[in-house]
Amino acid sequence: MKTRFNPPLFKWAAGLLLLAGLIGLVLFAAAGSHSRLWADDYCYSGFLRGRGFWQAQVEWWETGGNRFSALPLVAASDLLGEFAPAYLPALLLALLAAGFAVLLKRLFQAGRLFSLTGGVLTAYFLALLAPDRIQTLYWRMGAFHYTLPLALLALNAAFGLYAWQRWRGWRAAAAAAAGMLLAWFAAGSSETFAALQTALLLILILFAFARQNTVLRWPAVWRLGLLLAGSLAAMGLMLASPSNVWRQAVLPPPDSLSAFVSLTLRYGLDFVVYSLRGQPLPNLVFFGLAGALSGLFLPYRPGWRRSLLFAAAVIPVTFLLILAVTAPSVFAGSQYPTGRALMPARMALLTGLAVLGGLCGLSLRGFLARRERWVSALLTVILLAGSVYLLRTFSLPLADRAELAVRSARWDQRSGEINAQIAAGQRNLLVRQTDVVASLGDYGPDPEDWINRCAASYYQVQSITALP
């Protein structure tokens, strides 16, 4: 006789939380469907159209910018036409959720519900707490430089763990080489992400030396070392770009090493303080949900000493990763990082909160082992309360969608006017100046302005002038 499957209540609560997170991601993706080509988008696509794929790679690295991974991604997205940015936020969110989910699966082997819920929640809170959502989720170039690499890092880590657990011999060597290439490509997206990835890999190598036994230490180190080599190679390629000359002329580095270090420490601490003080509730909710999921689904029961030692290590490691994110901006003009450049720092902070929350959840189960039912009930209530909280946050993606829909309608109308003039054989285009994007520049009445010239290159015309 078959027995009916009756999962415990906490699994239903986790499923409800997963559903709420998925709905939230869909709402952000729906808002992103109103994304269009903005600002630098025209420059990258216009450069590719004017020179062809391979010539553009070399000339861009020499004269336009050192971030060599951007143009191949732009070329791939341009295959979808001028409305490609409308599809990218949904793809980006899916990659983030999938990357975090498979990484959790490989790290903890805790089942699909835990991994999927953790991955979706991490992607949702990353979008919800993005320092500048327009420029990190909805803007194509901002996403390519600062957000997409986070998904690539998670997928690369998950793939590396899978190969470590399953493959030996030539398969393991091939997987390590593939991971190195992916680390190289991801690091080429921006100096900011390259610094984060490099710092993370150095920390993991030190951890492998300290924690792994003799049999496992060197296999772990050489695999991590290959990833580090790929990341360092990308940094070297970006540093060798001749375009750095004019970039440093505009944004010179600090006067001294002490000034660089002090500003990096100051800006990194400012980011942490601003984030925790300015957004206390969502950070606390994410912390609590990580603890509830870990306490309910993970079988580990660390002692209080081990938990304290691990927490004492997590806090400085998280801060070091945030400093790695802020350092490139300090080097480039002694400036506080822009919102989009802080997206990797947001990911580092969320990861630190998740680990600390998980430790609290696991420790609570261990300390109150004799009150197992009460602890499970408490953690289940936290999951249910988190689902309610997520429902309240849906107003943010809905507001994004309403704003972007108005602006995208203006963009679409202007694009139709441009294409009509091109079809009529005109080479010097006149359009109406209109507000099509917030927080980013757009072309205006000066045909020699850099955005005007980039847009003219994209549409392959002589000039574009937007009149008031």
State the burial class of residue 19 (Cβ atoms within 10 Å of its Cβ: 0-12, 13-18, 19+). middle
pLDDT single digits (tens) 76-102: 999 998 899 999 999 999 999 999 999
pLDDT single digits (tens) 210-234: 765 666 677 888 889 999 999 999 9
Signed CA dihedral, 310, 312, 316, 318: sign only: positive
- C-alpha 119/C-alpha 125 separation (Å) is 10
What are the angstrom distances between the C-alpha of 374 and each of 9, 10, 302? 13, 12, 19
**Is there a domain that residue 146 lies in?**
yes
| Residue whose C-alpha is closest to residue 138's, from 396, 418, 326 | 396
- In this prediction, residue 2 has a pLDDT band, given cuts at 50, 70 and 90, of very low
**Is there a domain that residue 66 lies in?**
no
Task: Please state whether the predicted TM-score (pTM) of the whole model is above 0.85.
Answer: yes
**Is there a domain that residue 1 lies in?**
no
- In this prediction, residue 364 has a pLDDT band, given cuts at 50, 70 and 90, of confident
Residues 409 and 361 grouped into a single domain? no
**Is there a domain that residue 4 lies in?**
no
Q: Find the mean pLDDT for residues 18-25.
A: 98
Residues 252 and 324 grouped into a single domain? yes
**Lowest-confidence pick of 1-10, 333-342, 382-391, 420-429:** 1-10
Last residue of one domain, picked from the residues 348, 366, 391: 391
**Is there a domain that residue 433 lies in?**
yes
Helix or strand holding residue 228 (H, E): helix 214-239
Residues 357 and 459 grouped into a single domain? no
Q: How many domains does the chain have?
A: 2
Residues 433 and 337 grouped into a single domain? no
| Residue whose C-alpha is closest to residue 298's, from 383, 363, 238, 225 | 363
pLDDT single digits (tens) 154-211: 999 999 988 888 888 888 889 999 999 999 999 999 999 999 999 999 999 998 887 6
Residues 345 and 415 grouped into a single domain? no
- C-alpha 116/C-alpha 105 separation (Å) is 8
Residue 5 has pLDDT above 50, yes or no: no
The identity of residue 125, as a single letter, is: F
Determine the structural domain holding residue 435 and report its residue range: 404-467
* CA-derived radius of gyration, the chain: 24
Per-residue confidence (pLDDT) for residue 7, from 0 to 100: 61
Residues 289 and 437 grouped into a single domain? no
Residues 236 and 361 grouped into a single domain? yes
Per-residue confidence (pLDDT) for residue 3, from 0 to 100: 40
- C-alpha 269/C-alpha 249 separation (Å) is 28
Cβ neighbours for 290, distance < 8 A, ≥ 6 positions apart:
118, 353, 354, 355, 356, 357, 358, 361
Token readout for 455 is: 């847009």
